[in-house]
């Protein structure tokens, strides 16, 4: 199974389909959400912008992810 490079997937395209793909990859996994949140806080402007959409959807779907944030 290929490795999912979150940053690369965020930069691949900015579309609803890509957002859904990222949200599904995160699922209910705290560690994956933490990775997304870290990119949102610390990366270049375009990555931050594009990470916001799936991050928001993850929080709406599974609110506990934002409550248990554990930035590495």
pLDDT (tens digit per residue) in 13-33: 999 999 999 999 999 999 999
Quote the pLDDT of residue 36: 97
Task: Give the other-Cβ count within 10 Å of 64's Cβ.
Answer: 10
Separation CA 5–CA 8 (nearest Å): 5
Q: Does the pLDDT at position 2 exceed 90?
A: no
| Contact between residue 6 and residue 35 where contact means Cβ atoms under 8 Å apart | yes
Quote the pLDDT of residue 71: 55
| Contact between residue 65 and residue 59 where contact means Cβ atoms under 8 Å apart | yes
Quote the pLDDT of residue 1: 62
Residue given tokens 């944030």 in the structure block: 69
């Amino acid at each position: 199974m290929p490795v999912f490079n979150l940053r690369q997937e965020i930069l691949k395209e900015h579309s609803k389909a890509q957002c859904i793909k990222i949200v599904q990859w995160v699922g209910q996994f705290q560690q994956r959400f933490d990775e997304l949140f870290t990119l949102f806080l610390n990366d270049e402007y375009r990555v931050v912008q594009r990470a916001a959409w799936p991050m928001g959807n993850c929080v709406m779907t599974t609110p506990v992810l934002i409550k248990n944030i554990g930035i590495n």
